[in-house]
Every structure is written in C-alpha cells, then in structure tokens.
Amino acid sequence: MNEAKPIVTCHGNQSLFSSLHTAVSQGLPKESCEWRRSYGRAPRSVNLEASFVPYDADILPDEEEKTLVSRPYFHIFWTDCDLESYKQSVKDEIAEWQNALKARNIPDWLIVVVISDENKVKAKLLPRASVIDKVKSDFCGKYPERCIVLVEPTKLDSKSSESWLHLFQRLRSLLLQAFNRHLHKYEESMRSRREKRNEPGWNYFSYFIVQEELAFMLEMLGLKEDALIQYDELDAMFDQFVENFANGDTVKWLTPLMEPCSSWAGVSLAKSLDLDLREEVKQNNAALLPFRNYLFSRQAALLFQMGRAWEVASRALSYLYHTVVEMKALEVQIPDGALSCWVFLSCLEVLNACELHHGTQLDEKFALCTANLWDFAHKKLRELGHLCSLMPGLVPTSDQLSLVVDLVSGMGITAETLSPSDKKPVDKLRASLSSPESFKRHYLEMCEQAMGTYKYIGRYRSARMIGLELAEFYMKIKEPAKAENFLLESICMHQQEGWHYLADGTMVKLAKCQELLKEPNKYLKTCCHIACSPHITMAEKEKYFEETVKTLDSVSSDERVEMRASQVIFMESLELQPEQASLNEELSLRVCVVSNFPRPISMDSLKVSIVACSENEAVMFDQRQLQQKQTRKQQAEDSQPPPAAPQKHHRRQPSATHITLDKMANFSPATKQLPDTIAFQKTYERRQGRLIATGLGCEHARELLKRTDSATSTGSSTKNVVRDDYSLCFLTENVLLEPGRNNLTFAAKIAAQGVYRLNQMCLSVKSLDLLKPLSDFATVFRVDSIPSTFTVTPKHTDKFIAGIEQEAVLKFTCGSHGLTEASALSVTTTPYFSITSSEEGGDGDKGIMVGSVGAYESLEIPVNVCMNLKFDALETQMSRMSVMVEALQQTLEQEVTFVHPFNIVHKVYTAGKQKYFQIVVHGTTATCFTLSQPKLDTPDCRDVELQLMNKPGQLLLVNEHQSSSLLWLMSSNVPVLPALDLSFSCCYASQVDLSPQARQADYSCSIHDFQTQYILSYAVSSIEEDKACMTGETAIMDITIKQLIDLDLTEGTKLAYSVKANGSVWAIGGKTTGVFTMKEGKHHTVLDVVPMQAGLLYFPLVTLHKYVDRMEEQSLADIDGCDSDSDSAPLQSQKLRSESQVSSVSSTSSAQFASCLVEFSPGQVYNESRSRQIHVSPCRTTGDIDVSLIQ
Amino acid sequence: MAACVAVIAKENYPLFIKTIPTDNELKFFYTVHTSLDVVEEKISSVGKNANDLRELYLGLLYPTEDYKVYGYVTNTKVKFVIVVDSTNASLRDNEIRTMFKKLHNAYVDMLCNPFYKPGENITSRGFENVVLAMLQQD
C-alpha cells in the first residue's frame, strides 16, 4: 500500500506530459504544505505525492462512489499548443473534457499551458492574443486559479524554475482542496454510518472497511499518525462491542467470530497489508483471531513506518492479553493450548519484526517492552509443555500426542512458511512441540532470553521469578545443582527486601533441592530455617523439624555447622546482674528467648560469648554509669516534687523495640534506634522578673530526627556471622528449649578485670551451632578486682583498750583472688602493739597459718591483741598493723585504734598550812577496772611525807560512769619545798584482760609553788562593839595578812590587796586597793564598808597580789608565760586569772596599776575568810530604805 | 472487586497484604513483589523532573492474562498495589483511582494512630475492614 498515491489524470498533449512526468511527480513532494482541516483538528504539514494516469472519461468516479483510495482526485489538462491549434482543436478538446467533468460534478481540475518560446509572449502587445489568455477567458472565467502557465519547463534558468514553483504551489493547494472536499464528504457519511451502529442489521465489518479506507487515504497522504488513529478507533469500537456482547448485547455480525476456532496462526507482520485477510474481514468471514491479527498487523505496520518499533512491542502485550480475554468473553471454542500457540507465535513474530525494524540498537526503552513479551512467550511455552506433557518427568499420552498434531495443524503452516531455517516462530513452536528434548532446549532458551532482558532493564524481581521457574525446571530434569543457585538468589532478594513470606516459601523448595543434592550441612540449615519460620504452616514446620533432627543425627559430629539464629530464636530480654561485677564473682545473665521451633528441642549447650570492649567503649560505659548515677541522685533529690522542675534527661523506655528489630534479622529498618537518653536544654525568658516564655530544646535534634536512607540499609544487610571465640562465655548446658518463651539463666566468672560486652550467643545442638549476634543489645559490664581485706575487732568490748591483752578476732576477707593453698599471714605491728595467735603458744615470727580460702570468703582467726599502756594526753591512740599474705604476695595495712581505759588527773588542795594531793581516775570505757595498791611517791624529795587518806583496802572501781578518787596529806619536814615531782602508780585489773596478774598504771606529775605563803583573813564588824551591823551604817572591815614563809627572803616585797564587792550589797569607803609591804610578817588594814542590804551577806572579796614595779613589766610577761606551765590545774588557773584580771580592771581605775599586779599561784595565799558571812540587820529608821532579801 | 490489596513500605518490604481467599496466595505475593519492578521504574522516571507535582496514581503497572496490577505511590514512597481480575471490564481507570484514594485515606487514618510506629506491619482492624470491603465489593 506504500506505493499507493492519490490518482491524478492527465489529458491533452500526452507526449508533452510524458516529457514532463518525471519532473512533476518528483517535484511535487519536494516541499510540504500545510493542511488545515475542519473540526479544529490540528493542521498537518503534508508532502503530497501523486500518481499520474492518462485521462479516460470512463474512470471518472461517480459522485456517489464512496471510494477514497482508487478515486482519481484531480484532473489536469496539459497543452503547449499555439494559438492556431488552440482555436482549431484544443479548445474543443478542453471543452469536451470540461463537460465530462462537470457531468460528474467534479470541480477539481487544472489547465496547464506550457510555453516554450518566451519571446512570443513578450512580443505580443495585446494581452488577449496569447493561448493562456484565451484559455482563461474561455474556461476559467470564474476560477482564474485553475489555469497556470509553465514556462520553458526543460530549461534550467530562473524563469523556468520560478514557473515550476508556481505550478507546484498551485497544484498542491488545489490538490488539498480536492482531498479536503472528498474527505469531508467521506467522513460525514462515515459518521452517519457510525451513528447507526446500534441499529439492527448494521455490520461492523462493512463499517470497518469504510473507516479503513479513510485510514488508507491518510496513510497515502503520509499522515500515518492519523491513519493509526483510525485503526485505534476501530479497535476501541470493537472492544466496546465485545464488552457489550459479554454483557448480553448480542449483535448478528459477531456470530461468525464466535464459531469454533480452527486456525491459530500468529500475527504476521511480514506484509504491511494482507489483502486476502482484508477480503475475509470485508466479507465478515474472518474469525476473531484472524481479525485481530489483521488489525494489529495494520497498526504495527503504521508504527513501523513511523519508526516506533518499541511501541509495537508495548502494544503487542496488551493486544495479546486483550485478545485472550476477548476469546473468553466471546466464548469461542478452541482446542486447549491453541491460544497459547497463538500467543507464543504472535509474541515471537512481534519480537522478530521489532528486531528487524529496530536493527541492532537494543536500547532500554525497547527492552522494556520486549522483556514482557519474552516473559509472556516463555510462560505460554511452559503452559504448552505442561499441556502436552513435554515437561521433563511427564510421559505424553496418545491424546496429548494427537493434540500436538492438532495444534501444529492449526498454526497455519503454508508452503511458503515451510522453510528449513528455524527462524520462523512457527518452526520454532513446531520444533518445540515435536519432542521433549527440543522442548527443553527451546524452553531454556526462552527463559534465558526473558531473564536476560529483564535483568538488562533492571527488573530484577521479575528476573528472579523466571529464575524460580528455571529452578523448578532444573529440579525436574534432575539437575538440582543448577536449581540451587537460582533459589538462593531469589531467597536472598526476598529476604533483603523483607518479603519473608516469599523467602520462606522458596526456602521449602530449596530444602527439596538440597535434599537431592545430598548436602547435609546445607540441608540442615535450610530445614532448621523452615522449621522456625512463622510464615509456614504448622504441618510443614513439623515435618522439617523432624528432618532437622534426623539430619542432625546423620551429620558427622566433628564438623560444626554454623548458622544464624535469627530465625530460630528471638531475644526478648537480656538482663545482666550485676552490671558492675568483681573478679571471679559469679555473674548471672538472665535471658528470655523465644524459640520458634514447633517442638521442644534439647540444646547441648547455650553460650554467650564475652569480649573485652575497646578502650572507647569502656570509657563510654563509665561515663554512662556516672551519668546514670547522677540522674538517679538527681531524681532522688527531685523526689519531693517541685512540680515544674524539668528533668535534665528524658529517659526513653526502649518499649521492646529491639524485638521488632530482631525479627527483621537481615533487614535493618529505616527507623533509627533512638538513644536511651536525650539531652534537653531548658530556656526561660523573663522580663522584669516575670516569666514570659519557657522552652525545651534539644541540641541534637537534627541528628536524632535525620531520616535514614533506605538505600543504604538494603544494601549491606546480610553480614556473615562467624562463630565467636567462646573461651570466655556464659554457659548453661543441657537445656530443653520449649516452643515459645524460655527463661534461661547463665553463669560465668571472669578472671581478668576490665570492661566487657556480650557479643554473640551460640546454641549448640549436636553439630549445629546457631549463632546470634548480641552486639545490638550493647550489654556492657565492668569487672573489677576486689583486694583482700582484714579487720581486727575485739571480742568482748566495742573498742580496743590499751594496756591490756584482749581477745580479738582477725577477720581475713579474701578478695577476688582466693587463697588456693595454706599460707602464712605474718603480722607486723608498730611498737608497743602486739598481736599473737591465741591458738598456739604463739611464735609471733612464724605468723598465723591459714588454710585455703575461696574468693570472697572470709576467715576469722582468734588473736590476742595487746597494746602496752603509754599514757598520752590523747584519749585514743592510733596504731598500725600490716598483714603480709605470703600466697598473694600482698601486704595489707590497717589502722587499729586503742582507747585508754582511764584518765588520771591530779589536784592540790590547801587548808591553811596543810596541803592535800588528790588523784582522780576517770574511766573511759564501759569495761570495769579494779584499781589496787595505789602508791604515790616523790622520788626526788625525801622531805615530804605523803599519807593516804583513803581507807586501806578500799575497792576502787573505774568505768565510764564511775571515777575513783585518792587523796594524800602532804606534810614536809622542811619549811620551803622545791618543785615536787610526784609519781603515782597503781595496779589495775579487768575481766577482759587475759593475763591474771594485775598490771600497773603509772602517772607522774610535778607541782611547784604550792606552799602557803600568806594567810589572808578579814572580818566586817560594826563600829560599835557587840552590835549588829545595820544597813546603811558604816562598818569596819579589818584585813589581816600574815606571812608564813618568806620565799623570796626579801624584806621589801610589795604586795597589793584589792577589795571587790557588788555595789548594791556593799559600799566600800576608802581605797579598795592598796599597796603595802609586810612588816614583821604581818600587815593590817582597815576599811570602811557600808552594807546596803540587810540579811546574811558575804564579806566583800579581798584578794592579794604581788605588786611589781613598772620597771619590771618585762619580766612580768615572762612570769605570765610560765604561769600555766607550773599550774597543776591549768584550766582552773586560767579561769581564775582572767577573772582576776577583769576584777582588777574593774576595781582599779588605772590600767597601769592593774598591770602591775601579779597573781600568786593558787595555794600560795590562803584566804581564811572566804565565804564568810555577816548578819546585817535592817535599818531601824523610818526612812525609805528598800529591803530585799537575798537568799 | 479487587483480588489483592497490598501496602508496601518505602523500603519495599510488605506492610500489609490481603488477598481474596485462594489456595495460591503465594502467587499474589509474587505478583505484587514483581510489580515493584515497574513501580520503581515509574517512580524513577518521574523523579528526573523534580518540580513536577507527581501524580500519585501510577496507573496500570502491567497486565497479566488473569489479572491487572495497578500501582499508587504516596509522597512518602509507600506503595499501594491493587490486583484486579482482568475479566472484570467494569473496573475502569476511574474506579481504580477511587479505590486507591480510599485506600490512601484509610492508610492515613491508620497512620494517625500514635501507637502505630511507621514501618511496622499494619494490624489495624479499621484498615483491614476497608481493604476487605474492597475485596468483597462486587
């Protein structure tokens, strides 16, 4: 049909035209012209072509004739005559021609006047004289455009080419006009026919031929696109009819299509127009398949012409599917397999044609469409294979064999298609069906082809599907080795993409394959996997569980089979107790495991490997621990809730996320695992002290909220699990793993300190090791070494008491390292401190022998502890001891605190000249001590005699609630005593003390300046003798100072007295202080005093001081300094002195004077009148005197 | 109406698959899985001109003899696949579109549940009911 061109008739001078024919037919299509069309259709540019035929009045079409293609559209009259011949003959000729055209109502004509001699034209001055003018005036009065001049067509000058151009332009536009007119008319009638499609008696196929005519016409005009549209419209219309038919709307013309199908020849794309077929269609004789074949072949032809071979392929698929559906819809009877044959043949035909038209460039777009075709074809072949028992393992029955014959006969094999080459689809199919061997060859070839194309365009999933089919096929032809690879590939992909249902379904096939392969190791793994799959029926699971157990028995035990346990078990929880362990301590790991086995299985051993963390991890662990501790502390602090107090860390409950994680063993999900804690920052915004805004911000929000790209996650998800080193592991043995949840407890001891984490779990059954990586759980724990310690505690008392030998217990607590063998503990102590074993006689050097002690066990050794008393001012005494443990090569040090059992103080008492020395023993512990044989000595002085005032044999008991006091009378033979050193000793004993003999306690002290130098006495009496004092009346205070011994032996010692009294009690007249010198050992002073109150009043207090000249001030300070030293009761003396100082200041207005007074040491001045009182009577007068009674 | 409805996560693992009761459920699984090839193809071909407002409905992914497979991709690249019987001619593009719209709405409703974690298998009964209605409607 390609060659078909619109027909143009030529009349007039035939020889002239034949000379110009080539020029015209070639020149016409050189340039395109725009074709504007009605109904708002887009204008098209068309390259017009025409085939020129000689005019014959007989071929002129009737107006009623509805043909388009074979109709002569245009009529040209050619003439090159001169005026003479025109007048003679040509004019009549034209007139006759015109009349003939007019009779048929054909307005499409053109008269071409060819002028060979230009000069002639030019020479003529009168316009009406030329042929052209004549023609115009005679014929083209109404249509001046229908006459055109062609000047010297054979020449090549510009004039000639210009006139050619004119001719073509005119011809084109007129041709288009003609076409337009015809097409318009045609379309009108076609439309009206279409409108009648629902009327009875309407025939689709007659309409088909009409619209196809239009398509031919458009194709003829080069408008392939529009031509295709016509076919597509027809196609759609047919679909609609079939659909309506399926819905019960029967039409008569469809009946021939529904007749039992006897031919299933595939579509043939070899010819662009199959006229035989068209005739059949025209006659409404064609069955559905041939009609469809015809329609598609036309569409394909147009597409090929347009260079859209890929579209043929893409349309082919829907065409095939569609037709198959239509066959069903129309309920066409067809032998089994015939449709498959048709599809297969058509597929291959399309593919061949595409390849032919597409040439060598196999681009992706093309492959995209062909891939499906290949796939479809191979599926059909497989169907046929099953149908005719050509698949391996099937034996064709005689029925099937005759079916093959039937099928082959229906393929439309003609003599011309019977070629020896295997190229034709028919040959291929016939060969395939001829024998199982060639079927196998062809089937594999098709599979490869389809798979290859899919892979080429990146449709891996589809390719794997075919792979699965291939695997099945290989299994049938007993080549499991080939099948295995395909299965594995497919499983791998399904697992990676998380389609476990599919993966596990394929796994069952793999198991069958591996069983055939006799590879027990692989088979074992696969069986195990299937047995645990949640996507497989229970019966199948149990079957494979049994297989697993059976295979386990057959696998040689020295060969370990390793396998990921992710399918077999899920970890529900994992708890390590404690997180911070010590060396050799029993660590316990509690794991909740969900077993997916359908039945209980007994595991030989379950292990959890422990690996040492890298330094980084260790540091991180420590930090986290610290942080947790802090938050815990903080939480405790915050527990009394300040309601608005924001917590620094938001603790996120893991909410069992790891379980879901775990289930997607080979697939890391896109949702990132969030950390346990998220650090927040709180912000407050205040204005003028008022809170106006608060906020909570997260610094790492970007990081936390970042999307994880799925592309990376799908890529490297399947890591190979390698069996860990299980030399250090948690272990339980002989565990029966029930289906479902199992609580397991593991135990381990770790012999080196450090930070560890759990790395992998290994479940062993016979030779199978199920490995489960645990690194995701991030279970980290620290193992510390705990050193051995010992303590010494007294047995009977709460504290050690110095000075006695006590029973005590030495408690030796072994740390992380136990004592494996008996070892000696050698104890060394500081001086005065001894520890001896109480069991033996106790050779201290050898130390104490101890037997073996386990880690964290303790051993109690009874010992005797003795600290020799050595009195210090301190009440407690620290002492050190160290224990050397020989087996551990370790020396342990320990401080021991001793308490002194009692505290001894001394004091000197004075009574006039007499001196008494007192020793008081205060107990400091609850332990009761018995004192005996108190002894006081003055070792350096023999002039003093000490006489114990206590009852002889008095029981002296001392404890913390009871003190003992001892008093001695001191009498001396000499008047002046030097400073005395006194040493006190007594024996003490206690029940706690081990030794029966009493021990001796010593106390030494020295006293000086204790002898009485002056006796001070004073008395207050009324002025009148024998009369009571009266308030307000002056009384006399008589002060007498007697010197007993003169230590300084100087006559002129200046002394000073001072009188002090409460101003409201006594008013003192005269000098309250006075300096004096003793004369003959005596001094006497009288003062006036007035009692202000009535009652029993104490005398005013008189004190005596040494008076030092101002010159001696310097030395005074020295005396002051040494004062405290010499004092026996320093505290008391200090108190006294400060009082005296105060008093001296208050009583003396002159500070200078006060500074000149130096106190005597206590005992040197004896105040006889201290504490004496006088009775003062109230005043007898009636004056206003307040009376107050003082108790 | 539909023979199989599937929701597939961005990473191409299935979130939800429901088929009409059939012996050969696996076949639908394979079909849906294979259709992902085409879905990915379509998504990537659109992705090139990024500013295009992407049409969520992908149309007919591929026909098979028995079934037609239609696809739909949400903006978060969650894929919906609906498989319909190819003999059912009453299902035109528009009907399929409405089905997808309904499915999308149900999915969004389901996703609004704060207890559902995106990426987990869909167990919502409400969602399942919507899907079941699609499968049964005839």
Which of A126-130, A966-970, A1140-1144, B80-84 shows the lowest per-residue confidence on average (mean pLDDT)?
A1140-1144
> Across the interface, which of B11, B17, B86 has its CB nearest the CB of A325?
B86
What lies within 8 Å, CB to CB, of A330 at 6+ separation is: A242, A245, A246, A254, A257, A258, A288
Identify the H or E element spanning B117. none
State the pLDDT at residue A643: 39
Choice among A2-6, A12-16, A694-698 with the minimum mean pLDDT: A2-6
DSSP state letter for A87 = I
Chain A contacts of B117, Cβ < 8 Å? 660, 671
User: pLDDT tens for residues A187-218?
Assistant: 888 888 888 877 877 888 888 888 888 888 88
**CB proximity A325 to B under 8 Å:** yes
C-beta atoms of B118 and A671 within 8 A:
yes
Chain A residues near residue B90 by CB distance under 8 angstroms: none
Nearest to A321 among B26, B86, B119 (CB): B86
pLDDT at A260 over 60: yes
Considering only CA atoms, which of A1071, A1132, A1073, A1064 is closest in space to residue A1098?
A1064
pLDDT over threshold 60, residue A712: no
Average pLDDT over residues A927-933: 84
Q: Is B91's Cβ below 8 Å from some Cβ in A?
A: no
pLDDT digits (tens, 9 = 90+) for A263-289: 777 777 777 777 777 887 777 777 788
Decide: A1161 and A1007 in contact? Cβ < 8 Å.
Answer: no
Q: Which residue has the higher pLDDT, A821 or A389?
A: A389
Per-residue pLDDT reduced to its tens digit, A1005-1052 = 888 878 888 888 888 888 877 777 888 888 888 888 888 776 555 556
Total beta-carbon pairs less than 8 A apart between chain A and chain B: 77
In angstroms, the Cα distances linking A54 to A28, A77, A231 are 18, 10, 33
d(CA A725, CA A710): 33
Looking at residue A1149, its pLDDT comes to 45
How much is the average pLDDT of A862-889?
Answer: 73
Residue contact B41–A328, C-beta within 8 A: no
Instruction: Tell whether A324 lies on the interface with B, counting CB pairs under 8 A.
Output: yes
Using a CB-CB cut-off of 8 Å, the residues of chain A touching B11 are: 497-498, 667, 669-670, 710, 713-714
Judged by a CB distance cut-off of 8 A, whether residue B14 touches chain A is yes
Q: How far apart are CA B131 and CA B99, in angstroms?
A: 9
Confidence of residue A1110 (pLDDT cuts 50, 70, 90): low
Residue type at A1126 in one-letter notation: S
Specify the range with the lowest mean pLDDT, choosing from A590-604, A855-869, A1165-1179: A855-869
The shortest C-alpha distance from B98 to chain A (Å) reads: 22
| B14 closest CB neighbour out of A458, A460, A499 | A499
What does the pLDDT read at residue B101?
92
Chain-centre distance of CA A334, in angstroms? 62
A654 CB within 8 Å of a chain B CB: no
Distance from CA of A498 to the nearest CA of B (A): 5
Strands A768-773 and A561-564: parallel
Task: Report the residue from B9, B36, B120 with minimal CB separation from A660.
Answer: B120
First-to-last alpha carbon distance for chain B, in angstroms, is 5
- Using a CB–CB cutoff of 8 Å, tell me whether A710 touches chain B: yes
| Whether the bond into B118 is cis, omega within 30 of 0 | no
- In the predicted structure, residue A1 carries a pLDDT above the cut 50: no
Establish if B66 touches chain A: CB-CB under 8 angstroms. no
Q: Measure CB to CB from residue B36 to each of A243, A461, A671 and give the nearest one.
A: A461
Per-residue model confidence as pLDDT tens digits over B36-77: 888 888 887 765 555 556 678 888 887 777 788 999 998 888
Domains and CATH numbers, chain A: 7-198 (3.40.50), 206-213+224-361 (no CATH), 561-614+721-779 (2.70.50.60), 789-899 (2.60.40.2310), 902-1007 (2.60.40.1230), 1014-1177 (2.60.40.10)
pLDDT of residue A710: 42
Top pLDDT among A48 and B135 is at: B135
pLDDT score of A851: 74
**Residue A139 tokens, joined:** 């014929």
A818 touches chain B (CB under 8 A): no
Alpha-carbon span A872 to A865, nearest angstrom: 20
Residue B12 has pLDDT above 70, yes or no: yes
User: For residue A663, what pLDDT band results from cuts at 50, 70 and 90?
Assistant: very low
Distance CA B100, CA B106 (A): 10
Subunit contact A499:B37, Cβ cutoff 8 A? no
Residue B18, both tokens: 């429901």
Residue A1046 DSSP class: -
Band (A100; pLDDT cuts 50, 70, 90): confident
Closest Cα to residue A725, out of A746, A753, A765, A756? A756
Instruction: Yes or no: say if B81 and B8 are a contact pair by the CB < 8 Å rule.
Output: yes
Residue B11 and residue A669: Cβ atoms within 8 Å? Answer: yes
Q: Suggest the residue from A499, A661, A668, A705 to mutate for an interface test with chain B (most B CBs closer than 10 A).
A: A499
Q: Across the interface, do A458 and B37 touch by the CB < 8 Å criterion?
A: yes
pLDDT at B109: 92
User: Would an 8 Å CB–CB cutoff place A243 in contact with chain B?
Assistant: yes
Please give the pLDDT value at position A63. Answer: 63
Cβ contact, residue pair B120, A497, below 8 Å: no
Which range marks the domain in which residue B46 is found?
Answer: 2-136
CATH number, domain with residue B96: 3.30.450.70
Cα–Cα distance for residue pair A929/A960, rounded to 1 Å: 10
Q: What is the mean pLDDT of chain A?
A: 76
CB within 8 Å: B41 and A462: no
Give me the residue from B11, B33, B36 closest to A710, CB to CB. Answer: B11
Q: Does A382 touch chain B (CB under 8 A)?
A: no
Residues in chain A closer than 8 A to B92 (CB atoms): none
Q: Which long-range contacts (CB under 8 A, 24 or more apart) does A656-665 make?
A: A656/A572, A658/A571, A658/A776, A658/A777, A659/A570, A659/A571, A659/A572, A660/B117, A660/B120, A661/A776, A662/A566, A662/A570, A662/A571, A662/A776, A663/A570, A664/A498, A664/B13, A665/A564, A665/A566, A665/A567
Helix (H, G, I), strand (E, B) or coil at A146: helix
Are A302 and A377 in contact by the 8 Å Cβ rule? The answer is no
Instruction: Quote the pLDDT of residue A1046.
Output: 60
Segment A342-365 shows an average pLDDT of 75
Q: Say how far apart CA A440 and CA A482 lie, in whole Å.
A: 15
Task: Using CB atoms, pick whichever of A329, A465, A713 lies closest to residue B34.
Answer: A465
Q: In the predicted model, what is the mean pLDDT of residues A158-184?
A: 81
Residue A840: per-residue pLDDT:
56
- Determine whether the interchain pair A372/B64 forms a contact, defined as Cβ–Cβ distance below 8 Å: no
How far apart are alpha carbons A781 and A579 in whole angstroms? 5
**A47/B contact by beta carbon, under 8 A:** no
> What mean pLDDT comes out for the span A223-246?
83
Is the Cβ of B117 closer than 8 Å to some Cβ of chain A? yes
| Chain B residues closer than 8 Å to A502 by CB | 26, 29-30, 33
Q: Is the pLDDT of residue A1159 over 60?
A: yes
Provide CB contacts within 8 A for A882, sequence distance 6+: A827, A828, A829, A891, A892, A893, A894
A671 contact B CB<8A: yes
**Is the pLDDT assigned to residue A87 strictly greater than 90?**
no
**What integer pLDDT is reported at residue A893 of this predicted model?**
81
Q: Higher model confidence: residue A372 or residue A271? A: A372
Give me the pLDDT at residue B102, please. 92
Substitution target in B15, B37, B73, B81 with the highest count of A β-carbons within 10 Å is B37
Q: Is B118 on the interface with A (CB under 8 A)?
A: yes
State percent of chain A over pLDDT 90. 0
Of A38-47, A257-266, A651-660, A713-722, the least confident: A651-660
**Which pTM does this prediction carry?**
0.60
Spatial separation of the C-alpha atoms in residues A256 and A238, rounded to whole Å: 14
Instruction: Name the residue in chain B with its Cα closest to that of A245.
Output: B89
Residue A144 identity (one-letter amino acid): P
- Among A160-174, A706-720, A1011-1025, the range scoring the smallest mean pLDDT is A706-720
Each residue of A391-443: pLDDT tens digit? 777 777 888 888 888 787 777 665 555 555 556 777 777 777 778 888 888 88
A605-615 per-position pLDDT tens digit: 888 888 887 77
Instruction: Note whether ipTM > 0.85 here.
Output: yes
Judged by a CB distance cut-off of 8 A, whether residue B89 touches chain A is: yes
What average pLDDT does this structure show over A1082-1107? 85
Residues B81 and B35 sit within 8 Å (Cβ to Cβ)? yes
The residue with tokens 């777009």 is: A365
Residue B115 in contact with partner chain A when CB distance is under 8 A: no
Taking the CB of residue A147, how many other CB atoms lie within 10 A of it?
21
Beta bridge partners of A913: none
Assign residue A3 a region: left if phi > 0, alpha if psi is -120 to 50, beta otherwise?
alpha
Across the interface, do B13 and A502 touch by the CB < 8 Å criterion?
no
Tell whether B26 is within 8 A of chain A (Cβ): yes
Contact A328 B87 (CB under 8 A): yes
The widest CA-to-CA distance across chain B, in whole angstroms, is 45
Strand partners, A768: A561, A765
Please check the confidence at residue A54 and state whether its pLDDT lies above 60.
yes
Surface of B (32-51) touching A: CB under 8 A = 33-34, 36-38, 41
The first and second tokens of residue A866, run together, are 């003795």
- Average pLDDT rounded to a whole number, residues A697-716: 58
| Cα–Cα distance measured from residue B87 to residue A313, given in angstroms and rounded to the nearest whole number | 22
Other CB atoms closer than 10 Å to residue A183's CB: what's the count? Answer: 20
The stretch A13-24 carries a mean pLDDT of 78
Separation between Cα atoms, residue A622 and residue A615, nearest integer Å: 11
With an 8 Å Cβ cutoff, are B64 and A498 in contact? no
Cβ proximity of B96 and B82 under 8 Å = yes
The CA distance from A1021 to A1190, in Å, is 20
CB A982 within 8 A of CB A952: no
Residue A330 touches chain B, beta carbons under 8 Å: no
Number of domains in chain B: 1
Residue labelled with tokens 């001396």: A972
Q: Which of B29, B34, B87 sits opposite A501 (nearest CB)?
A: B29
pLDDT(A221) > 70: yes
* B119 contact partners, CB below 8 Å, separation of at least 6: A669, A670, A671, B9, B15
Whether A334 and A327 have beta carbons less than 8 Å apart is answered as yes
A337 contact residues in B (CB cutoff 8 A): none
Residue B58 distance to chain A (closest CA, Å) = 17
Q: Is A383 an interface residue toward B (CB < 8 Å)?
A: no
* Angstrom distance (rounded) from CA A826 to CA A136: 149
Residues of B in contact with A497 (CB under 8 A): 11-13, 33
Lowest mean pLDDT among A293-297, A522-526, A652-656, A1078-1082: A652-656
d(CA A839, CA A864): 9
For residue B108, the model assigns a pLDDT of: 93
* Helix axes of A338-358 and A288-305: crossing angle, nearest 10 degrees: 10
